[in-house]
Structure 1
Amino acid sequence: MTKYYGGDGDLFEHAPIGILRSTPEGRLIDANPALARMLGYDSVAEAASGIHPIAVDLARREELLSATSARKRLLDIESRFCKKDGGVMDALIHVRIVREKNGLPKHIVAFVEDVGDRKTLSRALAESRIRYRSVFENTGSATIIIEKDMTISLANTGFQKLTGYSRDEIEGRMKWSAIIADPEDLDRMTTYHFNRRKLAGHVPMEYEFILSGREGRRKHVVARVEMIAGTECSVASILDISSLKQARRSLLESESKLIGIVEAFEGFIYICSSDYRVSFMNRALKRFIGKDGTGECCYQTIYGLNAPCEWCEKKRVFTGETVTYEFRRPGDSRWCYAVSSPVLDREDGVTGQQTVVIDIHERKQAELAVKEKDAFLQKENQRLRSALKESRHFGNIVGKSPVMRHVYEMILRAGATDANVIIYGESGTGKELVARAIHDMSERGARRFVPVNCGAVPRDLMESEFFGYIKGGFTGADRDKPGFFDHAAGGTLFLDELGEISEDMQVKLLRVLEGGGYIPIGALESRRPDVRIIAATNRNLAELRRQGRIREDFFYRIHVIPIYLPPLCERREDIPLLADAFLKKYDPSGLVKFSSVELNMLHNYDWPGNVRELENTVQRYVSLNSLDFPGDPYRHGSASARSATDNARDTQGRLGDAVMDFEKKYVADILERCRWNRTEAAALLGIGRKTLYLKIKRLGIRRNS
């Protein structure tokens, strides 16, 4: 292999860089020792067999030759050589074509430079840049790198989101001054920028300014700026504090409002520590005690005591509990209501006790008066209930039987509420009397009690009668006419014979009961009367509901407090009391009296017309001096009793014999009617069965065959 190059073999042989020559076709001509050493060979001869010709890496040979010829200069390319140990050497090759005298390519000379370390360093640098970019992107805040001329050379995603600009618009193109909204901020921050590069210790690292983004949206931000060591660049981290600013404004507004409320509050507010020292007083408290007692003990400066207040709940409050209590203020003995709550610190826990004190003296006095009144009324109620057990009447209602005492109890309960009442009972049992008694016992007792017989109101006039009408509401309405609800405003409307109300009217009444009010005929505005409804019926409303004649919603609105009145035949022990009351009513002189026989006749009659029939019978007795029972003369001994009475009046002789004779005939007649069922006869006579046996034996009564 020839050992020269360009006529200077020593240069080829001793050059510090690798040199090789090849034919234009790619056949290796020779290589110098430097290239052999670079590839790990001991000699050029050994390297000659191992060095791949340059053509191996230059597949586009003709294109290379053409480019080199056209440029008439060295062409730099990168390639790789296989080393003796199997490794790879990265190389930078400077290619030159040596030509014949006729200009044709003679051979190719390649100068080979080992750039492996440089490539490794470049890769490391690239990896370092990638890692740096990754850290830069994930700083958590908007971050930029600022050059000395204020150009932003690097911006992370956070800064792009904050400003609305893209990376291409920012990096290398935008100066940071473009995002400053306020001219005063711009002047201040420009001064900081240049002084930071001269007098770093005299420039603040953190400051606030108003940032303007792509669409001109202004944001309050805080920036922290530091110099990058060894450079003229600075790094700035920017945090959006708009929400914090708003929160601060809201907090200041809230504090201002709270201070205004506290100072305008007429009650007392103060804060004290665990040793009772006052740290805050509101204006009202200062005005009350005549000074600012801050720093003094609360029990001394506020309450004039020498020791802590006996009602103080400091121990509970300093465990984190809010406590409410009432006390009488020393000095003027006025009642006060207090709320003591803990003052909390996030790190130190409970640091104080805040107490709000309100003067409730008038309210407390009224409350105590109400309690005293309630206690009095309760005692009065108990006394009344006790008296009712012994009383023979309740208002205008006469009777002391157990069933009537239960009715009296229900009247008391109904009178204590404003709920709707339904009274069930046969005709003549005194349903209206019970309704009036409930009205009189209630808080509406001083207002009107308006009774309405629903069965007597024509159906086509029912709406106008209940709700009234206004002048001109229909043909012939020449004046306003108030209805039943208008008359009963503030009082009680008694609806007797409720079962006679039509379904259409039930719907209209239901609207009133549910608070919707009513509209008088011809009117436009609704009226909502304050009226209590007490209804009465001698029919079974539950059965009418099942039959569909009473609406369910109407039934349940009416059927709130039910009261059941027993027929007179179920409370016979009240008949003498009722008869005596009616005698006094129709014979105030007291001359007319019932004999024992007549009382027995009244007791044994079944009274289908109930109390009303009894009253009519007594009135007839006073007027005609004759005890007549209308209707079936054979009801429960009426005929036999009358016959016995007539016989008793005709009897001459001893009274005892006459009484015994009457008793024998009377008892015998009852036994015959009961077919000698002694239990039934004893019940009808109102005596015990044993007593009846003794009478049968004493009177010598025999059963007719």
Structure 2
Amino acid sequence: TDQKRMEEALKKSEEYYRAIFENGGTAMAIVEKDGVISKVNSESETLLGFSLQEIEGKTRWDEFIVEEDRERLRQLFLKGQRKLKTTTAQYEADLIDRWGGRKRGLFKASIIPGTKQYVVSVMDVTELKRMEEALKKSEEMYRTLVEDQTDLICRFLPDGTLTFVNDAYCRYFGKSRDDLVGQSFLTLIPEEDQQNALNHLASLNKDRPVETCIHRVILPGGEVGWQQWTDRAILDKAGKIVEFQSSGQDVTDRKLAEDALKETNKKLNLLGSVTRHDLMNRISAIDGYAQILSEIAPSEPTIQKCASSILDLSESARRQISFTRDYHEMGIAAPRWQRVDTLAETAASAVSLNGVRLEVETGPAEVFADPLIEKVFINLMENSVRHGEKTTSVKISFRDRGDAGVIIFEDDGVGVPTDQKERIFDRAFGRNTGYGLFLAREILGITGISITETGLEGEVARFEMRIPKENYRMDE
């Protein structure tokens, strides 16, 4: 009959809602008009530490609320009763469990249609609130650290749109944070320099996410200054760049000083070049007069001895002038990254190896060094050929030792006498010009690279060039 069907439908409905009540995943309770809890689920037992028998019909809902939150929740409860709205807003309060422990609860209460009962759900958000507080403190600490920095700090999207700037950034450009965030940082760079800045950012990737660059910027008064930026690419899980974080400093004074120094060096180099040219001409003239003197009196021993001494002295002067030419070029050009295998091969093409076999096993190693480092390899190869006596092969290899990289240059010649391993780097030591290894050590030292001789006398000459960790890389 219809009544039977209605009873069965009601039974199924009750079972359905009872299943939801018991298995909803949160603590739930039925609260009567007078505030007494008439029913709770098992999650409520877990949350509060009381059994169903201890709660149902015996306890008011507000007995589980801490005193400082109790009155506020009572008023919300009464307000809901007066308005008889189906659903109230969510609110938070601290709960007290059986053992006096405090837990943060997220409450939601709804009137059961056709009754004056409430169904109340409570989610334990204690751990969530703890994490939120920890995150808030961490963000405050990070923000304080960033804002107190004298360095300019910003974040921006791949298209250049600024998403964050610190106070130092705002002060430097004379703009408010609202004026800057949402705008492209490119507007702060002279138009002719913007493409270089974009090219620099385009060079960053997951294998090389951090790089430094120097570029011009437009100052508040319209004049142009210089900044040095260290840019870091922020990547998503797929390795795609989603943002950049950058730290910058004003280097205008340093850049102007560097430019002034370069201009001064340029003028000094020009003067040195002219002077060396003139001296070489005069030495050639002295050689000519010495030759004439020798030819005028071929049978006079004293005159022949004087002429020979003059030629020896002029040759010594010529070598010293050549040394000043090589030495003054050091440090003029900025150090740069250079592949070791390319340096070795280029040096070999400039030296007559006379059948000596060259092996290069440096892989993709790159070194940050003065451009004149090529002369180091040329000098070492010339020494192997000239002084090795029995040299048949030269081997150049690279070792990554973790705290430093080492370029190893070795030949199978007679080696270096034990008592000369350090003296060979002294100025004017040697059987030829005496300046080669002295210059080599000076060139390498510009970027902190040291060189020592570690071979075995009579068996092998072995030079080790030790490179600081920050000045070498393995670029595949």
Q: 1:377 to 1:185 in 2, by over 3 A?
A: closer
**Cα RMSD (Å) of the superposition?**
5.3
Aligned pairs for 1:61-140 within 5 A: 129-140=14-25
Contact 1:340 1:355 in 2 (8 A): yes
Alpha-carbon shift at residue 380 of structure 1 (Å): 3.9
CA distance in 2, matches of 1:419, 1:434: 21
Alpha-carbon shift at residue 218 of structure 1 (Å): 0.9
Which residue type is aligned with residue 382 of structure 2? S
Q: What corresponds to 2:231 in structure 1?
A: 338
Aligned pairs for 1:164-203 within 5 A: 164-181=49-66, 183-201=67-85
Structure 1: runs of 5 or more not aligned: 1-115, 395-399, 447-531, 539-561, 566-705
Q: 1:423 to 1:437 in 2, by over 3 A?
A: farther
Tell whether 2:110 aligns with 1:226.
yes
Q: What corresponds to 1:238 in structure 2?
A: 122
TM-score by length of 2: 0.51
Post-superposition Cα deviations, 1:548-571, rounded to whole Å, max 9, x if no partner, equal: xxxxxxxxxxxxxx7399xxxxxx
Aligned to 1:224, the other structure's residue is in SS state strand
Q: Considering fraction of residues, name the structure with more strand.
A: 2
Contact 1:313 1:340 in 2 (8 A): no
CA distance in 1, matches of 2:27, 2:118: 14
Q: 1:534 to 1:294 in 2, by over 3 A?
A: same
Q: What corresponds to 2:371 in structure 1?
A: 375
Tell whether 2:184 aligns with 1:287.
no
Greater Rg by CA: 1
Q: 1:324 to 1:377 in 2, by over 3 A?
A: closer
Contact 2:161 2:185 in 1 (8 A): no
Alpha-carbon shift at residue 172 of structure 1 (Å): 1.6
Tell whether 2:248 aligns with 1:358.
yes
Q: What corresponds to 1:157 in structure 2?
A: 42
Aligned pairs for 1:215-614 within 5 A: 215-271=99-155, 278=162, 280-292=164-176, 294-295=178-179, 297-299=183-185, 302-305=188-191, 308-312=194-198, 324=211, 326-330=213-217, 331-333=224-226, 335-339=228-232, 341=234, 353-359=243-249, 369-371=334-336, 374-386=370-382, 389=385, 391=386, 394=387, 401=389, 403-404=390-391, 434-441=417-424, 563=460
Higher RCO, 1 vs 2 (CA within 8 Å, ≥6 residues apart):
2
After alignment, is 204-213 or 372-381 more displaced? Answer: 372-381
Aligned to 1:154, the other structure's residue is in SS state strand
Contact 1:272 1:279 in 2 (8 A): yes
Alpha-carbon shift at residue 166 of structure 1 (Å): 1.3
Alignment coverage as a number of residue pairs: 315
After alignment, is 211-220 or 306-315 more displaced? Answer: 306-315
Aligned to 1:312, the other structure's residue is in SS state helix
Q: 1:224 to 1:357 in 2, by over 3 A?
A: same
Which residue type is aligned with residue 358 of structure 1? G
Aligned to 2:246, the other structure's residue is in SS state strand
Contact 2:384 2:411 in 1 (8 A): no
Aligned to 2:136, the other structure's residue is in SS state helix
Q: 1:420 to 1:438 in 2, by over 3 A?
A: farther
After alignment, is 206-215 or 328-337 more displaced? Answer: 328-337
Aligned to 1:216, the other structure's residue is in SS state coil
Which residue type is aligned with residue 563 of structure 1? V
Which residue type is aligned with residue 302 of structure 1? L
Q: 1:126 to 1:271 in 2, by over 3 A?
A: closer
Q: 1:388 to 1:332 in 2, by over 3 A?
A: farther
- Paired-residue identity, %: 22
Post-superposition Cα deviations, 1:1-26, rounded to whole Å, max 9, x if no partner, equal: xxxxxxxxxxxxxxxxxxxxxxxxxx
Contact 2:200 2:213 in 1 (8 A): no
CA distance in 1, matches of 2:3, 2:376: 113
CA distance in 1, matches of 2:160, 2:195: 10
Contact 2:155 2:246 in 1 (8 A): no
Q: 1:188 to 1:383 in 2, by over 3 A?
A: closer
Which residue type is aligned with residue 378 of structure 1? E
Aligned to 1:198, the other structure's residue is in SS state helix
CA distance in 1, matches of 2:123, 2:13: 27
CA distance in 1, matches of 2:108, 2:235: 39
CA distance in 1, matches of 2:201, 2:421: 53
CA distance in 2, matches of 1:293, 1:120: 69
Alpha-carbon shift at residue 188 of structure 1 (Å): 1.6
Contact 1:143 1:238 in 2 (8 A): yes
Q: 1:246 to 1:299 in 2, by over 3 A?
A: closer
CA distance in 2, matches of 1:357, 1:223: 45
Q: 1:257 to 1:205 in 2, by over 3 A?
A: same
Post-superposition Cα deviations, 1:234-290, rounded to whole Å, max 9, x if no partner, equal: 110111111221121122112112212322334323345687564542122223223
CA distance in 2, matches of 1:206, 1:405: 87
Q: 1:405 to 1:320 in 2, by over 3 A?
A: closer
Aligned to 2:417, the other structure's residue is in SS state helix
Structure 2: runs of 5 or more not aligned: 218-223, 259-330, 337-367, 399-404, 428-451, 463-476
CA distance in 2, matches of 1:180, 1:384: 84
CA distance in 2, matches of 1:419, 1:355: 35
Q: 1:388 to 1:420 in 2, by over 3 A?
A: closer
Q: 1:168 to 1:126 in 2, by over 3 A?
A: farther
Which residue type is aligned with residue 179 of structure 2? G
Tell whether 2:97 aligns with 1:213.
yes
Contact 1:422 1:536 in 2 (8 A): no
Q: 1:314 to 1:186 in 2, by over 3 A?
A: farther
Aligned pairs for 1:22-61 within 5 A: none
Contact 2:391 2:411 in 1 (8 A): no
Which residue type is aligned with residue 436 of structure 1? D
Aligned to 1:262, the other structure's residue is in SS state helix
Aligned to 1:295, the other structure's residue is in SS state helix
Q: What corresponds to 1:31 in structure 2?
A: none
Q: 1:314 to 1:342 in 2, by over 3 A?
A: farther
CA distance in 2, matches of 1:143, 1:341: 44
